[in-house]
Amino acid sequence: WLSEGSRVNTILKVSAMTNIDLYLLYDVNPPEGFNLRRDVYIRMASLVKTLRKEGDDWVLVLPPWGRLYHWQSSNVHQIRIPWGEFFSLTSLQANVPVIEYEEFIAENGGPFIDQVLVLQNYAEGWTDGKWEEKVDERPCIDKLMYSKDKQGYSRGWFWGYEETRAQNVTCISAQGHASIMSPVLQKNITVTSVMLDRAETLLHDHYAGKDYWDTRRSMVFSKHLRLIGDDFREKYLNSTDDRDHTIYSEDWTRMKAKLGSAKGGPYLGVHLRRKDFIWGHREDVPSLKGAVKKIRSLMKKHKLDNVFVATDADEEELRELRGLLPDMVRFEPSREDLELFKDGGVAIIDQWICAHARFFIGTSVSTFSFRIHEEREILGFDATATYNRFCGDTEKECEQPTHWKIVF
């Protein structure tokens, strides 16, 4: 009953009949940070939703966190971190079926990935200067980050799981939104586990649309991190959900705060991105002096006595900042806390505290700041209290961030 040309469909049907899941794994270009990776998750969740609409039981395998360039705290174990340490898995699962990588290994019968598709652009770029959506199997443009072992399996980084191997690695040129991969995965793949490497190559299906926001709202931070942030707010910033009108529902599907309903705690929230943002002497990033001047003027304008600062500034800049702004409040984890939460957890706590401020100002085109905007949108803050950024000291046109309204 294998009719010609239907091998793929047949195998997929057999899988569905026997309730075998199909697994979509993915990874992102190594230099990308935590907050861009959170954005790529939204694109992959959208692809899985499209695949499931077509009828097959695809499950998204969550790529373990680790080896991130910015996570440099020494002597803290920072690889093979499951998503459950940072996000609420039940919340993610209420949006799209997801499993941790170790669950995949167990369900799949071992650390094997059938097919890795390395996504890349087109070697020839846009033909005739015209952009069109397309996807084709093509020779690999860059040197592959995988190598064959003695048995002929492909070995690679695989999130620090050394025993993991792939049966087959090929390159695909793709130009378009995430769901452009849906036909490829349905028709051209005769396997049960597929990994898309360099998944950031794919664009959002519909940026800031309903599906985008459903997935974004489902990315609820894990409870232990939220609790640490809430305790800190109460203890050092006189901020509680009751008084600040930021009541949070554990069930994100019921979290529908009205725009403008959140008041926020009596403090200014600041995200001051430094490090690589100042090394390039970017025109849109202020000096510390410039930033503090703006902070002072905002505190006065909004009658706020407290300022909470989240920053990745190095020791030297931090000392300078403390000199200019001695009254700033910062979340400074103890050694044990850092080992427990890791750099990713501390970043989340910083974001959570900024998200609850009466007024927030962030850094130009920082995905760290963008994720705070979204969190505040979910909590129901007025746009004027959220979509603000520092201007460079000599920046002429200082365009402010875009307001992306939630689509429920």
Ligand X SMILES: *[C@@H]1O[C@H](CO)[C@@H](O)[C@H](O)[C@H]1NC(C)=O
Ligand Y SMILES: Nc1nc2c(ncn2[C@@H]2O[C@H](COP(=O)(O)OP(=O)(O)OP(=O)(O)O)[C@@H](O)[C@H]2O)c(=O)[nH]1
By annotation, the residues acting in catalysis are 32
Residues of span 236-275 touching ligand Y by CB under 6 A: 271, 273
* Binding partner of 392, given ligand X, ligand Y, none, CB within 5-8 angstroms per partner class: none
Which tokens in the block code for residue 397? 């046109």
Which residues does residue 135 pair with via DSSP β-bridges, in sequence order?
174
Q: Which partner in ligand X, ligand Y, none is near 8 (CB below 5 to 8 A by kind)? A: none
Within 55-114, the residues that bind ligand X by CB under 6 A are: none
Mark the segment that binds ligand Y (CB under 6 A) among 82-90, 214-222, 253-261, 305-313.
305-313
Shortest approach of ligand X to residue 215 CB, angstroms?
A: 25
**Contact set for ligand X, span 219-238 (CB under 6 A):** 238
Please give the order of strands across the beta sheet that includes 265-272: 306-311, 265-272, 357-361
Asked whether position 184 contacts ligand X by CB under 6 A, the answer is yes
- 310, 355, 361, 391: residue in contact with ligand Y (rule CB under 6 A): 310
Q: Which is nearer to ligand X, 134 or 405 (CB)?
A: 134
What six digits make up the tokens of 229? 């942030």
Task: Count CB neighbours of 404 within 10 A.
Answer: 17
Q: Assess 9 for contact with ligand X (CB under 6 A).
A: no
375 vs 372: CA distance, rounded Å: 5
Give min distance, CB of 243 to ligand X, in A.
6
Closest distance of CB 196 from ligand X, Å: 13
Nearer Cβ to ligand Y (104/362)? 362
CA-CA distance, 352 to 308, in Å (whole number)?
11
Phi, psi dihedrals of residue 309, rounded to the nearest 5°: -115, 120
Least distance (Å) between residue 347 CB and ligand Y:
4
Among 115, 173, 218, 311, binds ligand Y (CB under 6 A): 311
Contact between 329 and ligand X by CB under 6 A: the answer reads no
Considering CB distances under 5 to 8 angstroms, the limit depending on partner class, which of ligand Y, ligand X, none binds residue 273? Answer: ligand Y
Q: What tokens appear for 382 in the block?
A: 């007025």
Q: Give the dihedral of Cα atoms 80, 81, 83, 85; nearest 10 deg.
A: 160
Nearest to 185 by CA among 363, 322, 95, 50: 50
Is residue 137 a contact point for ligand X (CB under 6 A)? yes
Residue nearest to ligand Y (CB): 33
Question: What residues from 59 to 98 belong to the interface with ligand Y (CB under 6 A)?
Answer: 70-71
Place of tokens 């070697």: 123
What token pair was written down for 343?
């750099």
Of residues 29-48, which lie at the interface with ligand Y (CB under 6 A)?
Answer: 32-36
168 binds, among ligand Y, ligand X, none (CB under 5 to 8 A by kind): ligand X
Question: 277: alpha, beta or left, given left = phi > 0 and alpha = psi -120 to 50?
Answer: alpha
CB of 41 to ligand Y, least distance (A): 12
Q: How many residues bind ligand X (CB under 6 A)?
A: 9
Q: Which option in ligand Y, ligand X, none does residue 188 bind, with CB closer than 5 to 8 A by kind?
A: ligand X
Q: Which of 81, 346, 355, 406 binds ligand Y (CB under 6 A)?
A: 346
Which does residue 82 touch among ligand X, ligand Y, none (CB within 5 to 8 A, set by kind)? none
CA distances from 198 to 92, 142, 175, 388 (A): 22, 12, 13, 31
Contact 351, 371 (CB under 8 A): yes
**What is the nearest approach in angstroms of ligand X to the Cβ of residue 114?**
9
- 278, β-bridge pairs: none
136 binds, among ligand Y, ligand X, none (CB under 5 to 8 A by kind): ligand X
Query: Of 43, 80, 79, which is closest to residue 60 (Cα–Cα)?
Result: 43
Strand 154-155 and strand 147-148: the pairing is antiparallel
Kindly tell me which residue out of 54, 136, 314, 339 binds ligand X, with binding defined by CB under 6 A.
Answer: 136
Per CB under 6 A, contacts with ligand X among 242-271 are 243
Is 350 a binding residue for ligand Y by CB under 6 A? The answer is yes
With tokens 């002929």, the residue in question is 152
Helix, strand, coil content of the chain in percent (nearest 5): 40, 20, 40
Considering only CA atoms, which of 376, 274, 370 is closest in space to residue 362? Answer: 370
The pairs formed by 318-322 with CB atoms below 8 angstroms and a separation of 24 or more are 320/288, 321/272, 321/288, 321/292
Question: CB–CB of 166/146 below 8 Å?
Answer: yes
The listed partner (ligand X, ligand Y, none) that binds 312, CB under 5 to 8 Å by sort, is ligand Y
Task: Please report, as ranges, the residues that interact with ligand X according to CB under 6 A.
Answer: 135-137, 168, 170, 184, 188, 238, 243
Q: Which residues bind ligand Y (CB under 6 A)?
A: 32-36, 70-71, 271, 273, 310-312, 343, 346-347, 350, 366-368
